[in-house]
Structure 1
Amino acid sequence: MEMEGGSSSGSAGGTQTHRRFSPVRSRAFYKFTQQNLPACKPVLTPGWVQKHMKAPIYIYYELDNYYQNHRRYVKSRSDKQLLYGLKYKDTSSCKPEETSNGLPIVPCGLIAWSLFNDSYAFVRGSGEMSVNRKNIAWKSDREHKFGKHVKPFNFQNGTLIGGGKLDPSIPLSDQEDLIVWMRTAALPTFRKLYGIIEEDIDADEIITVHLFNNYNTYSFGGKKKIVLTTSNWLGGKNGFLGMAYIATGTFFILISVLFALIHVKNPRPHGDPTYWSWNRKSNAS
């Protein structure tokens, strides 16, 4: 069969047939083969905030379907190396990210190697909002778990790059993105603090977010989100803890009611007073 604008091939009997398409059908066929047909493409937009957000406003990145609690992943680190650097030699727990090109890696292990490296910029009107990236990690981690004189060495120099890179001139105690990431999450959906906006945001105000999409979550079917939230004297808004408390309290109330009904129906018999310890002693005398 031979088509206009296509190739030709002989039939089994050696004859050829000719078929000519109309110009309209030719244009439609071309659009189909080039995937130019009209289609409905949903545009995802963030929800509107109808409330005033008072500074400080915390920026979190959220990852879904990311199992930081996997046994091999959690064990692939060296806490003593994070504190003492190259002075600590035994980094066998960091496999498979223990050495690269015959040299040790600081910080070693899969957790540091897979460091999250997306970045965000927030624009209000014509000016960019400042984001404070300091003091986002726990003070105890900065002062007691990451060395003040330990600097990255031979990090992300292998053939396979996992995530973000570290500035080799800055000690680990000041690399707060790494410190936040190294505190692994217990659930596959988690949030980690990215920075703090120290300006108020009014209701219905439009904030433009420029996202640098560096971190590959598509290979394992993960999802990424960005969350802006405030906190009060009780902390940030987290519905999971409240629902867990309500579910646990309701369960214990039901159990107590059940035990009360069982006690009313089948009360426990009272003990014989003659078997009390002091009565036995008097009877023996």
Structure 2
Amino acid sequence: MSDNQQQKEDKTTFLHAFKQQIMKAWQPVPTLNSTIIVFAILSTIFLVFGIVLVVFTNKIIDVKVRYDTKCSTINYPQSDSGFVPAMCTVNFNVDEDMEAPVFFYYQLTNFYQNHRRYVKSKSVVQLQGNSVSYSDVSNCEPIIYYSDLRKYLYVPSNLADNDYAWPCGLIAASLFNDTFSLTGPNGPVNISDQDIAWPSDISSKYKNRDMTKQWTNVENERFMVWMRTAALPDFRKLWGRIDQNVVAGSYTIQIANNYPVDSFDGTKSFVLSTANAFGGRNSFLGISYLVMGIICFIILMVFVFKKFKQNKPKQQKEN
């Protein structure tokens, strides 16, 4: 038989075995010893990772201040020139030095951004700066035109009611618009709005078309951060970053209090936080690893006890 004929025959045999599902396979049979080894390895991995994550999380400095109760007044504009934001001042302390970069978040509670109708209420084509037809903005319902948007927030008078709201939709219309100005022991602290959004959002997903026909700037990174909806009703979103060390001491923050939370029984807070290789302060992942490690260790002890009981009769017979 030639080499070509042998190769064809091997190939035919392989295809037949594959189609009939009779190929050779490794089918390990777990034993008591192998099970003990597997659970010993798993418990070690989970416990080590859990301890590391908890230690790293505890090193993160996190300063949170609720301010909706301290800044209760909200002013709504009546005309293009008549809007004066309700300003309030909040004093707070930073107990430890925070190394740059320090991240500045706002935190909302009881705000359900994961509602299906809310999540769908935007136009991807419009946000990319392209011209749109009604079919492109139909998902924005109930906020398609500026006449719809005016029911929810102030819109400059030069934007016609029958024009498409740019941007349209519920997500954009509920944009968080409080602003913050921070002053520390050494003077004003700059909170930058650069490098806070995802690089993919900055490069391709958000483009202005004509600012004279838009009610807000979609290329602003704070807008991009808001448009990424949160999965849970209590969430933090990045408002800016501080590229200098924040030293311990007394701080004052001036807040333009524009965003109402009473309608959904929510709260507002701002948060100053450092980060590490695993991100910001979040103990959930570390605790999850520890819980899984403890569960695997308990199962391991059960199998070790079972092995001990099996070996005991053998030792008695030998004696």
* TM-score (norm. length: structure 1): 0.64
Shift of 1:260: 8.0
Select the residue among 238, 242, 247 that pairs with 1:197: 242
Which one of 128, 138, 143 corresponds to residue 188 of structure 2? 128
The aligned counterpart of 1:150 is 209
Counterpart check, 1:52 vs 2:97: yes
Match of 1:67 among 112, 127, 138: 112
Distance 2:306 2:258 in 1: 61
Corresponding residue of 1:108: 168
Which deviates more from structure 2 when the two are superposed, residues 232-241 or residues 245-254? 245-254
Counterpart in the other structure of 1:243: 287
Provide the rounded CA distance (Å) in 1 between the counterparts of 2:300 and 2:210.
57
Give per-residue Cα distances to partners, 1:234-277, cap 9 Å, x unaligned: 32222223223333444455566668889999xxxxxxxxxxxx
CA change 1:255–1:220 in 2 (3 A) is farther
Superposed counterparts of 1:1-285, under 5 Å: 48-87=93-132, 89=134, 90-100=136-146, 101-125=161-185, 127-147=187-207, 149-151=208-210, 166-167=216-217, 172=218, 174-203=219-248, 205-251=249-295, 253-254=297-298
CA deviation digits over 1:17-62, x for unaligned, max 9? xxxxxxxxxxxxxxxxxxxxxxxxx999877443211111110000
Judging changes above 3 Å, is the alpha-carbon distance between structure 1 residues 241 and 96 closer, same or farther for their aligned structure 2 residues?
same
Aligned AA (2:261)? T
SS of 2:258's equivalent in the other structure is coil
How much does 1:154 deviate?
5.1
Count how many residue pairs are aligned between Structure 1 and Structure 2: 209
Q: How far has the Cα of 1:133 moved from its partner?
A: 1.1
Query: In structure 1, how many angstroms separate the alpha carbons of the residues matched to 2:171 and 2:93?
Result: 35
1:202 Cα offset (Å):
2.1
Deviation at 1:122, TM superposition (A): 0.5
Structure with more of its chain in helix, by fraction = 2
Cα-Cα RMSD: 3.1
The change in CA–CA distance for 1:77 and 1:245 in structure 2 (over 3 A counts) is farther
Structure with higher RCO (Cα < 8 A, 6+ apart): 2
- Between the aligned partners of 1:82 and 1:110, the Cα distance in structure 2 is 14
Query: In structure 2, what is the equivalent of residue 9 of structure 1?
Result: none
Give 3-state SS (helix, strand or coil) of 2:128's partner: helix
- Tell me the TM-score normalised to structure 2 length: 0.57
Which of 1 and 2 has greater Rg? 1
Contact 1:53 1:200 in 2 (8 A): yes
CA distance, structure 2, for counterparts of residue 256 and residue 126 of structure 1 = 56
In structure 1, distance between residues paired with 2:211 and 2:304: 62
Q: Is the 8 A contact 1:80 1:88 kept in 2?
A: no
* Cα distance change, pair 49–128 in 1 and its aligned pair in 2 (3 A): closer
Contact in 2 for aligned 1:106/1:153 (Cα 8 Å): no
Contact 2:91 2:253 in 1 (8 A): no
- On the 8 A contact 2:92/2:251 being kept in 1, the answer is no
From the superposition, tell whether residues 166 and 43 of structure 1 become closer, same or farther in structure 2 (CA, over 3 Å). Answer: closer
Deviations 1:91-143 (A, max 9, x none): 11110011232221221110011000011111124732111111111111111
Distance in 2, matches of 1:109 and 1:263, equals 63
CA contact (8 A) 1:107 1:152 kept: no
In structure 2, the gaps of 5 or more residues are 1-68, 72-89, 147-160, 310-319
Q: Distance in 2 between matches of 1:126 and 1:200?
A: 11
Measured in 2, the distance between the counterparts of 1:257 and 1:152 equals 67
The code of the aligned residue for 1:150 comes to R
The amino acid of 2:183's aligned partner reads V
